[in-house]
Amino acid sequence: MNEQTCACPDCNCKVGNTPVVRDGKAYCCEACATHHAGGKPCVHAGCGCTKAAQQH
Ligand SMILES: [Zn+2]
Ligand SMILES: [Zn+2]
């Protein structure tokens, strides 16, 4: 089982075969790895983490 999910708190995306690793955590995309700096959206359309990040 290497179906790991993104370490972004509100993201349920699978990181897949090419995770973006930052600080020892695997993220599904660069946007999540940078905690959505500048409002950058998750690459996965409709992912709840983008909206959640913008509310902070
Ligand atoms: Zn996501
Ligand atoms: Zn995210």
pLDDT tens for each residue of 1-56 = 567 999 999 899 999 888 999 999 999 999 999 999 988 999 998 899 988 877 75
| pLDDT value, residue 1 | 54
Distance, first Cα to last Cα, the chain: 33
Pure H helices in 1-56: 30-33, 48-54
* C-alpha–C-alpha distance, residues 46 and 21, integer Å: 22
Query: Which ligand is nearest the CA of 36, by number?
Result: 2
Query: Which ligand is nearest the CA of 32, by number?
Result: 2
CA of 49 to the centre of ligand 1 (A): 6
| pLDDT value, residue 13 | 93
CA of 48 to the centre of ligand 1 (A): 7
The answer to whether domain 1-56 has CATH 2.60.20 is no
CA of 42 to the centre of ligand 2 (A): 5
Any idea what DSSP says for residue 3?
Answer: -
Domain locations in the chain?
A: 1-56
Burial profile 12-32: b = 16 or more Cβ within 10 angstroms, e = fewer:
ebebeeebbeeeeebbbbebb
CA of 24 to the centre of ligand 2 (A): 16
| pLDDT value, residue 54 | 73
